[in-house]
Amino acid sequence: MFKGKWLSCTWALAIAGAMSLSACGGGGGGGGGGGTGTVNASLTDAPSGTYKNVFVTVEKVRLNQSADANGNGSGWIDITLSTPEQIDLLSLQNGVFKALGSVDVPAGTYNQARLVLAPNTNQNPNANYVVLASDNSQHALTTPSGQQSGTKINVSMNVGNAQTVDLLIDFDADKSVVIAGNSGQYVLKPVLRAIPKLANGVKGKVDLTTVASGQVATVSLQDSKGVVIRSTTPDSTGAFVLSQVPAGTYDVVVTSPGKESVVITDVPVTSDNQIDLNATADNTIKLVTSTTANVTGMITNTTFNSDTFVGITQTLPSGNVFTAASDQVMLSGGTTATGTSPATPDSGNYSFTLPQGPTQVGPYASGGSTPITYMDNTTYTSKYTVTANSSPTVSGTTSKSVNVDLTPTGTNTTGDAVADFVFN
């Protein structure tokens, strides 16, 4: 199992915090001052390694100036779809977003949004469901009753008189689907954040002839700590776009099963530019075949938390790190103490297949004017850090890490490694 997606904010974050959304278009100053403005709502997502499709049915988007208003409180303004629309979240990649509608609102500052999904019912049992990438099997997504008023998103959205503001909702499909312990049910717990709708980012191309048959490449934009800001999979031509990105300097990371990782470092992104890696020179990314080894292990959690993630990072020559793979580990099998029977902890296994060959690292050339020159990251060849992150536990421990070396040595002719973690 190889995952190219890591958490888009912090590793154990459930719903991202407030993000300021700027207005565009018409005249007028910031929020307040009377008059009306317009809010456009759209939806976007990133790729998934676990699911082939994640279908959700959207009913409405709700807005409120109060950050503390509950779903049944006052002050709500709704963008209601004329007919609830079923959307495959995994089709919203490479800069694609789905418009949900617009509404005129009184000028002011809006501090809360909610996304309302239709529940699965006897009349519509497949309003929300997933299709597994492993076997194309279809599974209904249970929506907890508490979500009937919508999933809360913290925003700070200033709408001035005669202004139009874009509310872009990032729906993290991979993290929003949870397998409910021993029941085997797939539960939808939307993980949402509001992001600025910006005409910026990074675009480029992967040479798909260098990707193994039946496999895909994952392209991500990561910060110096290996946190994935945006990720996608190339289209049928190999082209990719990583858009809606906060200004900063990032690394472009390309991973694919059975291939050496590729990292383009120091890519500068501003709020209003889109870096084209192939602007004038051919910087099409070509992947090199690598031998692989497995990292496996068991997560044990005595406090019965099911929100546990495992990520694999590697250090770059600069001292920065990048995330090579990640996955959510579903814990099950635990029991509470009854009578003379002691409690048993939840547990779950994970497995990653990683390249043993060196990561190809090359600095971005300003303006894409020259070909990128890649060097082997020989210092850290086959060397990775495995980190498990869990929801807060009784002892307060939420993160544990261990270094592994996948170089074949002695009787370990494959280089495989085992890393177990216990939270209590």
Same domain, 322 and 251: yes
Binned at pLDDT 50, 70 and 90, residue 391 comes out as low
Binned at pLDDT 50, 70 and 90, residue 291 comes out as very high
Q: What is the pLDDT of residue 187?
A: 85
Q: What is the pLDDT of residue 408?
A: 96
Binned at pLDDT 50, 70 and 90, residue 6 comes out as very low
Residue 1 lies in a domain: no
Residue 2 lies in a domain: no
> How buried is residue 213: exposed, middle or buried, by Cβ count under 10 Å (0-12/13-18/19+)?
exposed
Same domain, 238 and 180: no
Read off the pLDDT of each residue in 172-180 and give the average, rounded to a whole number. 78
Same domain, 125 and 246: no
Q: What is the pLDDT of residue 39?
A: 93
Q: What is the pLDDT of residue 20?
A: 44
Same domain, 188 and 214: no
Same domain, 263 and 217: yes
Q: Please give the residue that has the higher pLDDT: either 183 or 188.
A: 188
Q: Give the chain's domain count.
A: 2
Read off the pLDDT of each residue in 67-78 and give the average, rounded to a whole number. 92
pLDDT over 60 (residue 107): yes
pLDDT over 80 (residue 198): no
The rounded distance, in Å, linking the Cα atoms of 213 and 19 is: 40
Residue 416 lies in a domain: yes
Nearest to 226 by CA among 358, 349, 16, 387: 387
Same domain, 309 and 407: yes
Q: What is the pLDDT of residue 368?
A: 66
Read off the pLDDT of each residue in 369-373 and give the average, rounded to a whole number. 87
378, 315 contact by CB (below 8 A): no
Same domain, 223 and 188: no
pLDDT over 60 (residue 26): no
Read off the pLDDT of each residue in 98-120 and give the average, rounded to a whole number. 94
Q: Which of 33-42, 166-175, 348-357 has the highest mean pLDDT?
A: 348-357
Q: Token pair 């009306």 is at which residue?
A: 36
Same domain, 303 and 356: yes
One-letter amino acid of 23: A
Binned at pLDDT 50, 70 and 90, residue 36 comes out as very high
Q: What is the pLDDT of residue 94?
A: 78
Exposure string of 310-347, with b = 16+ CB inside 10 Å and e = fewer, is bbbbbbbeeebbbbbbbbbbbbeebeeeeeeeeeebbb
pLDDT over 70 (residue 15): no
Nearest to 45 by CA among 232, 199, 189: 232
Same domain, 370 and 404: yes
Residue 7 lies in a domain: no
Average pLDDT, the chain: 85
Phi (first) and psi of residue 367, to 5 degrees: 75, 0
pLDDT over 50 (residue 382): yes
Containing domain of residue 296, as a range? Answer: 204-423
CA-based max dimension of the chain: 75
Q: What is the pLDDT of residue 392?
A: 60
pLDDT over 80 (residue 387): yes
